[in-house]
Amino acid sequence: MKYRSVSRSVAGALGVAALCLTLPLARPATVMGQRSESSPSSGASLDYAFFKARVQPILLAQRPGHARCISCHKHNNQMRLQPLSPGSAAWNEDESRKNFESVGRLVVPGSLKSRLLVHPLAEVAGGDFYHSGGKHWTSQSEAEWQTLKAWVLGQTSK
Ligand code: HEC
């Protein structure tokens, strides 16, 4: 009896996980539709210089217990980062522009619900349920997350 109810709840949990995995696939069109880089009416717009100087280092940084964002997101996710050129520890101008485009698609300028913010953030801290790349931040007060937030809210590098 005990075993059956446990296995049923595991199956339930897997079902929920499967559902959550399929949901993101249905969303990019909406996210792109809401994207308003070219419509200043949203109030916030994404600053390239801030992205290059402050956000990109976060995408390259190694956090204990996690792989670096770049190690997974250079393949086939929606957030596609350019692979680093051999021997290079940072992205060049052209690569940075492409990253800005790609990461920007996961952001609704001005919105703290942007997937870039909630996906790698622990659910207890206001993040979403699941990111197969792990929850890299457990609190919104962590400096790196604060930097991502500042970018989403339109902070410039001046
Ligand atoms: C171990 C591999 C891995 C790492 C490391 C990783 N991710 Fe992901 N990430 C994924 C996979 C796989 C998906 C798609 C499935 C999902 O949503 O969980 C994803 C999805 C996302 C998405 C939703 C858009 C998309 O591309 O599907 C965002 C935003 C995101 N990751 C941000 C990050 C950030 C920021 C970091 C670093 C702080 C990071 N990820 C680190 C594997 C990873």
Per-residue pLDDT tens listing for the chain (158 residues)? 445 544 455 555 555 554 444 444 444 444 444 444 444 445 789 999 999 999 999 999 999 999 999 999 997 789 999 999 999 999 999 999 999 999 999 999 999 999 999 999 999 999 999 999 999 999 999 999 999 999 999 999 87
pTM score, whole prediction:
0.79
What is the Å distance from ligand 1's center to 75 Cα?
A: 11
Q: Tell me if 151 sits within 8 A of 46, measured CB to CB.
A: yes
Residue appearing with tokens 């410039």: 156
Domain ranges for the chain: 48-153
At 51, the amino acid letter reads: F
Q: Give the separation between CA 136 and CA 134, rounded to whole angstroms.
A: 6
Pocket of ligand 1 (CB under 6 A): 24, 66-67, 69, 71-73, 77-79, 106, 115-116, 119-120, 130-133, 136
Strand, coil or helix: 114:
coil
123 C-alpha to center of ligand 1: Å? 15
Identify the residue whose C-alpha is closest to ligand 1 atom 43: 133
For the chain, state the CA radius of gyration: 17
Going from the Cα of 158 to the center of ligand 1, the distance in angstroms, rounded, reads 29
For residue 4, the CA-to-ligand 1 centroid distance in Å is: 34
Q: What are phi and psi of 137, to 5 degrees?
A: -130, 135
Q: Which atom of ligand 1 is nearest to 66's Cα?
A: 5
